[in-house]
């Protein structure tokens, strides 16, 4: 049984993949997000190609989705981890290449710091692969100063 909260909140999820058909994995993950109990995808960004950030391996395909959800932060995190597992996610070492990575960036205005989950995500403002797609779907969260701070991180729109 899901841990529900009332009322629903707007949550932000960053999606990324750099193994296999990364674009197909991200697109399928967006569809998977739409099947979560008490959750609907409000908007999804374009897909973007980025070099690995603080990691090795092939380029990533990234996106951001805004979700309207009744799931609590931890229930949503666990649902995201189940989707990652269904996509074959393995965690052999920190920042290893991956078939799918789903990061909970925001959950409404929740501020949380536990061993399992920190909200908002502690490094969201440092990553072009979050900021640029986030600007597509939630421009009020991204200003020119934030984008300028990550301009040295290459990112380009990806077309399938």
- What ranges do the domains of the chain cover? 4-157
* Stated pTM of the model: 0.92
- CA Rg value for the chain: 15
Average pLDDT over residues 41-46: 97
What would the pLDDT profile of 70-93 be if each residue is shown by its tens digit?
A: 999 999 999 999 999 998 876 655
State yes or no: cis peptide before 7, omega within 30 of 0: yes
Arithmetic mean of pLDDT over the chain: 91
The pLDDT of residue 27 is 97
CATH number of 4-157: 3.30.70.560
Render 25-64 in DSSP notation, one character per residue.
HHHHHHHHHTTSTTEEEEEEPPPEEE--SSS-SSPEEEEE
């Amino acid at each position: 049984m899901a841990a529900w909260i009332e009322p629903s909140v707007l949550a932000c999820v960053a999606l990324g993949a750099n193994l296999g058909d990364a674009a197909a994995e991200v697109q399928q993950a967006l569809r998977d997000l739409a099947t979560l109990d008490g959750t609907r995808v409000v908007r999804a960004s374009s897909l973007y190609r980025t070099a690995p950030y603080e990691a090795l391996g092939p380029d990533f395909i990234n996106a951001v989705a805004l979700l309207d959800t009744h799931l609590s932060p931890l229930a949503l995190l666990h649902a995201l981890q189940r989707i990652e597992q269904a996509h074959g996610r393995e965690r052999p070492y920190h920042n290893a290449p991956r078939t799918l990575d789903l990061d909970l960036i925001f959950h409404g205005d929740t501020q949380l710091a536990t061993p399992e989950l920190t909200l908002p995500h502690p490094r969201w403002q440092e990553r072009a692969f979050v900021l640029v797609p986030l600007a597509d779907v939630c421009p009020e969260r991204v200003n020119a100063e934030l984008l300028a701070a990550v301009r040295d991180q290459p990112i380009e729109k990806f077309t399938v």
